[in-house]
Structure 1
Amino acid sequence: MIGAGSRERFLRPLYRSLGSIRFRLALVYSLLLFGLGAIVVGGIYWGLARNLDESPLSQSIGLDELQAGGGVESVEEQAIRELLVATEIDANERAMQTLQDYSLIALAVLFGASMIVGWSLAGHVLKPVGRITAVARRISATDLSQRIALDGPPDELRRLADTFDDMLDRLDRSFDAQRGFVEDASHELRNPLAVIRSNLDTTLADPDATTEDYRFVAEQVSRSTERMSRVVDDLVTFARHETRPQHLTLVDIGDLARQGAAEFGGYAANHDVRLACEPPSGLLALGDAGSLRQALANLLSNALRVAPPGSEVRVTAGGEGAWVWLAVTDEGPGIPTAEQERVFQRFQRGRQASGEGRGLGLAIVRQIAESHRGEARLTSTDGAGSTFTILLPATGASSPGARIRRRGRTGETAPVSR
């Protein structure tokens, strides 16, 4: 006797198969084929029955003509006629019954065969779905290296598999970026924490430490915590701009440039640097005003930090077609070509950077530009200054369609041929 547990283990796969898409596809295929077969067989049955009713055997052998030509029908002729008609009716009924029986058997065989063929075809068609499911099950939170890599014609399942692989690629890159971000952040915060701990341990271990020693340590701790606070603020800003801005409006880039230059006017004067800003009016870009102000502030802070006394920092802007640009040019030491891409990475400082930089300012600029579907670009000559340019869509285009070049030592930039 089969126990309840054994019966459940036997029935569970059966129920799962009956509820699968494969079974439903096979059933639909079989029902369609069965329905078409039933229509064909029914048509043949109806046509044959109608033909037998309209053309009986008695007409074929000419009994009606014999009766009309011979006058009065004898008893023997009448008996023969009735026997013939009865025999004909019985033969017709037997033939129709036989046809019906064989038709039902044929339809049953057709249904069973179509279920088997439909099950096989559905399994072949849905095989990529099983492959997708297997890959999805093998994926874990720490391993996104699995890919479907489905071959075959570019049908719906191939597009589904390719879309799934693309999604895994994006997730893998995102997780790698997050891991790198955490590692960089921990490395950047480890140094001030080490300074704080070493100063505190040294002072607390010294029994002869004076009030001045404690004051000195307190000042060191204050500077280190201030640095940590700035790093944390920049980390939060960087993380916030990893997605597209949510408050997009039309921003006047000229007004934005003038406001940024005004805010840094005092800082530039204290460092004996001329800050020039003469952007045109009416340059509208689609973006988040607060984010763009921060990007410009980071560029100005970077330019004023590296600009030598007596030099000039210029803020310029322009537009062409569906794109507008905002540029900051300094007359600092410049950046070698080999380092130009690296300065936009997190916690990377070019040769021109001073110790005050935290290595996130230019990374935030690029993040803000890309979150606006734009670009951050650098044009620099070693020993002759640098121009940082933010290229923004004026009407929401998908990617920049112009290249930026630098014109002379004036720092003016403009789009050129596409």
Structure 2
Amino acid sequence: MPVTASDPAAPSPAPRRLRWTVRLRLTLLYGALFLVSGAALLIITYVLVATRDPQIIRKTTPGPAPWLPHDTDRLPDVGGEQRKAMLKQLLTQSGIALALMSAVSVALGWLMAGRALRPVRTMADKARRISERNLHERLAVGGPDDELKDLGDTFDGLLGRLDTAFTTQRRFVANASHELRTPLTLQRAMIEVALADPAANAESLRTVCERLLATGERQEHLIAALLTLARSQRGLQRREDTDLAAIAEAVLAEQAAQVRIDLSLAPAPTVGDPRLLESLVTNLVDNAVRHNVPGGWARVCTGVRDGRPVLRVTNSGPVIPHERVEALFQPFQRFETRAGSPDGHGLGMSIVAAVAEAHSAPVTARPGAEGGLDITVTFGPAARALEGAGGE
């Protein structure tokens, strides 16, 4: 619509401010350095020429000449005015040359700064095009092995870690959705079958309800595990002095004795979140008991090794290949044997890894000598807890 007299005047565009880019600053720096060095050279040259002895030494024959003054060793500089004019001309011409070369140095500095910063512009353009949909792309900075290439390689490493994190998150969401949808589908199928059966009686409906309750309990365990995993990945929200031995003893008191459990619980004071540490011990013990063999055993040890509290859980069980151990700490990863898929949701060991990472405690896992796993969690030294234990 055309603008009329009654329409408010369109706001005038704001004047574009000068952007002090790195290229502009480098150019001004190059020009200023050349100007200062050129001016210093001009001053030194002028001082050397101006302080030169203006007297002319003349060698004459022995004896005074009748046409010269008696003092013939040193004659006054009769060209003083000419010398001053030459110095002035030298200063003027040198100043003009310095100004011209300063302008040339600024232009060359602008070109060279742009050439030096070209990889930065290339990296910036590529980085703008990278999003969560194409994290697989890399900057791939070429050229000499200098600071700019190090910057590009560092950014490529960051993109690689982000790509891995996004891929893991998508896989986790897909697996969680599948794990949550499967019980719901099963419940719906059982209800539809029960309702479609015209001969259904109270006993059959009771059986269906019991199966629904079992499926619902499985969902509750899965949701509780997901919440625990999320809370563990969020990091520590509280820190308290605690003892791994006391936590392990409390967890084992509630554990059903399905296998033989050997205990070696020495004091292991540390600082952390007691609820998360309890979840870590519970999942380790549950994994050792659940994934075992008939008549098997499990061993839980706590103590201090090299000044660091340590929790170690070993168990018998099926033989696990060494290359499969690391994958067990990923969400929804289960080790399947010939007897079929084991129970559980595949979240126990991922919860252990998340809790250990929140406490900055490295986890070492390797196949056991008699099958199963040998897992060691080494916590950081707790100065306050150790001092308190030593003072008792």
TM range (shorter): 0.7 to 0.9
From 375, 383, 394, give the equivalent of 2:363. 375
- Which residue of structure 1 lines up, in the alignment, with residue 32 of structure 2? 31
* Cα deviation, residue 285, structure 1: 4.6
* 1:88–1:363 distance in 2 versus 1, CA, 3 Å: closer
Q: TM-score, normalised by structure 2?
A: 0.76
* Cα deviation, residue 34, structure 1: 0.8
Per-residue Cα deviation, 1:195-233 (whole angstroms, up to 9, x for no partner): 122233344556776565655544443333332222122
In the alignment, structure 1 residue 194 sits paired with structure 2 residue 185: yes
**Residues 353-362 or 209-218, more deviating:** 209-218
From 209, 221, 230, give the equivalent of 2:221. 230
Does structure 2 retain, via aligned residues, the 8 Å contact 1:317–1:325? Answer: yes
Q: How does 1:153-168 map to 2 (within 5 A)?
A: 154-168=145-159
Per-residue Cα deviation, 1:343-382 (whole angstroms, up to 9, x for no partner): 333223234687541221122223333443311414335x
- Which residue of structure 1 lines up, in the alignment, with residue 54 of structure 2? 55
User: Higher helix fraction: Structure 1 or Structure 2?
Assistant: 1
Q: Distance in 2 between matches of 1:24 and 1:198?
A: 71
Name the SS for the 2:135 alignment partner: coil
Q: Distance in 2 between matches of 1:303 and 1:373?
A: 20
Q: Which residue identity does 1:40 align to in structure 2?
A: L
- Which residue of structure 2 lines up, in the alignment, with residue 77 of structure 1? none
* 1:56–1:313 distance in 2 versus 1, CA, 3 Å: closer
Does structure 2 retain, via aligned residues, the 8 Å contact 1:138–1:146? Answer: no
* Cα deviation, residue 181, structure 1: 0.6
Q: Distance in 1 between matches of 2:294 and 2:185?
A: 34
- Which residue of structure 1 lines up, in the alignment, with residue 344 of structure 2? 357
Per-residue Cα deviation, 1:101-142 (whole angstroms, up to 9, x for no partner): 311220121111211221222223222212221221121122
Name the SS for the 2:318 alignment partner: coil
* 1:226–1:47 distance in 2 versus 1, CA, 3 Å: same
Does structure 2 retain, via aligned residues, the 8 Å contact 1:365–1:376? Answer: no
| TM-align CA RMSD | 3.7
Structure 2's unaligned 5+ residue stretches are 1-12, 61-65, 383-392
Q: Which residue identity does 2:379 align to in structure 1?
A: P
* Cα deviation, residue 255, structure 1: 2.8
In the alignment, structure 1 residue 334 sits paired with structure 2 residue 318: yes
**Residues 21-30 or 385-394, more deviating:** 385-394
Q: Distance in 1 between matches of 2:44 and 2:110?
A: 29
Q: Distance in 2 between matches of 1:388 and 1:247?
A: 29
In the alignment, structure 1 residue 347 sits paired with structure 2 residue 338: no
Name the SS for the 1:348 alignment partner: coil
- Which residue of structure 2 lines up, in the alignment, with residue 305 of structure 1? 290
Q: Which residue identity does 1:33 align to in structure 2?
A: F
* 1:377–1:161 distance in 2 versus 1, CA, 3 Å: same
Per-residue Cα deviation, 1:75-102 (whole angstroms, up to 9, x for no partner): xxxxxx9xx96x752x344323322331
Name the SS for the 2:334 alignment partner: coil
Q: TM-score, normalised by structure 1?
A: 0.72
User: How many residues in Structure 1 have an aligned counterpart in Structure 2?
Assistant: 356
Name the SS for the 2:233 alignment partner: coil
Q: Distance in 2 between matches of 1:387 and 1:279?
A: 19
Does structure 2 retain, via aligned residues, the 8 Å contact 1:347–1:358? Answer: yes
Q: Which residue identity does 1:101 align to in structure 2?
A: T
Does structure 2 retain, via aligned residues, the 8 Å contact 1:377–1:388? Answer: yes
Does structure 2 retain, via aligned residues, the 8 Å contact 1:326–1:390? Answer: yes
Q: Which residue identity does 2:319 align to in structure 1?
A: I
Does structure 2 retain, via aligned residues, the 8 Å contact 1:149–1:162? Answer: yes
Q: How does 1:135-174 map to 2 (within 5 A)?
A: 135-152=126-143, 154-174=145-165
